[in-house]
Structure 1
């Protein structure tokens, strides 16, 4: 149980940070990324084609972001850069898919995706200016928000564990 709790805390902390990823989108086909997100969480993302591998051509991509129930949250075509933002309505896997939609497909493209979730979306510079805090007080505020997010993630994981173990119990007992 202690190991499971430590793993849950590690996963919760890992989900508090934002990371940019590069996706290699093939000339034909789709590249998707997904993230399991709780309900009522802010999501912000920026994406752009990396043109270093295409100095003379300018391919474009299409992007579609869907909720766990298949609702389209963002759709864009003929894009070289873009962004999306939403607050999750339900918990589950949110999916962002990218594909080349221009005639200039070449050998595929690289897409930079900067996907931020939850507290990683906060503009701490603006908060610091508005509330006139800095230094240790600002860092304590960030830690307080992180602890609240970890607590919410642990509650969510505990609920999922109860549902999962109940499902397993009903399978083994039937």
Structure 2
């Protein structure tokens, strides 16, 4: 394998680590949420399952989950009740923080569930094996397609982050302007109240002929 091919595959390996894979514990009667900032029109896939410590035996009811995937505006993209595994796939219609929440039913005595969860977005979410079969491309051509798609995805991500940064700057400027206006209004009110008090005090002294 040439150095250029090795470099390309290494680069692809680093890029494709964007996929988020994790394992965590969840206490019965509790909820755990995981968020991911996703661009508009980005493809997203995820899968989850409760780890069964006794393989070959069905999981008890106490080890069932309620899973909900929601958009930044609260729209449901996936909702399952009393399941021990599942998967979801969608194209994001809104940009922002998407949230996956896992809830375990309350149980006495309290139980602990081990959950494996994998969440992929963008380039990492594509099924490249299907693309290779459909388009009948060679291995190196497929790697080049992956690399090109990854570069496009990174470019789109940079533009998205730049846009989010501009939104935050505009929000900060708007907030600062409002705070400045409120501060000025507070000073005017304080000075008005102080002037009114002085006027009443002067009137009082005049009535008492102290001035």
Band of TM-score, shorter chain: 0.7 to 0.9
* 1:40 alignment partner in structure 2: 41
Give the whole-Å Cα distance in 1 for the aligned partners of 2:95 and 2:37.
7
Q: Which has the higher strand share?
A: 1
* 1:80 alignment partner in structure 2: 84
The alignment of Structure 1 onto Structure 2 pairs a total of residues equal to 162
Matched, 1:146 2:147: no
The alignment's TM-score, normalised by the length of structure 1, stands at 0.82
User: Greater relative contact order (Cα 8 A, min sep 6): structure 1 or 2?
Assistant: 1
* 1:169 alignment partner in structure 2: 173
What does the per-residue CA deviation read over 1:50-105, in whole Å, with 9 as the maximum and x for residues that have no partner?
Answer: 01279785221111111100112111111011111111111111111111137577
Q: Which has the higher helix share?
A: 2
Give the whole-Å Cα distance in 2 for the aligned partners of 1:20 and 1:112.
8
- Aligned CA-pair RMSD: 2.5
Determine which of 81, 91, 94 is the counterpart of 2:95.
Answer: 91
Unaligned runs of 5+ in 1: 1-12
Q: In the alignment, is the contact (CA less than 8 A) between 1:100 and 1:108 conserved in 2? A: no
Unaligned runs of 5+ in 2: 1-13, 181-211
Matched, 1:119 2:120: no
1:36 is paired with a residue of what secondary structure? strand
What does the per-residue CA deviation read over 1:114-137, in whole Å, with 9 as the maximum and x for residues that have no partner?
Answer: 111111121111211222222322
